Amino acid sequence: MTRALQRFRRVIILNLVDSGLETQEHKLAQAYIRLVLLFNNPSLTYVGFDFHEYW
């Protein structure tokens, strides 16, 4: 991620993983969010989008 931020200065992460509470992907989505929060960089934007909520 550091290399991407050095190259592009701002990075937007679009997470398309199913975030439903009873899915295995939910665990993955939560872990991904925690890592982004730990990175704690204002040049990094996280967007979670679950297609199942709009289908």
Q: What percent of the chain has pLDDT over 70?
A: 98
* Measured CA distances, 46 to 33, 37 (Å): 8, 9
Which pLDDT score is estimated for 40? Answer: 93
Structural domains of the chain, count: 1
Residue 17: other Cβ atoms inside 10 A: 19
Q: Is the pLDDT of residue 52 over 90?
A: no
What secondary structure does DSSP assign to 1-55, as a single string? -HHHHHHHS-EEEEE-S---TTSHHHHHHHHHHHHHHHH--TTEEEEE--GGGT-
Instruction: Average the pLDDT over 2-30 and give the result.
Output: 88
- Assess if residue 55 is contained within a domain: no
Is residue 28 in a domain? yes
pLDDT, mean over the chain = 87
Residue 43 belongs to some domain of the structure: yes
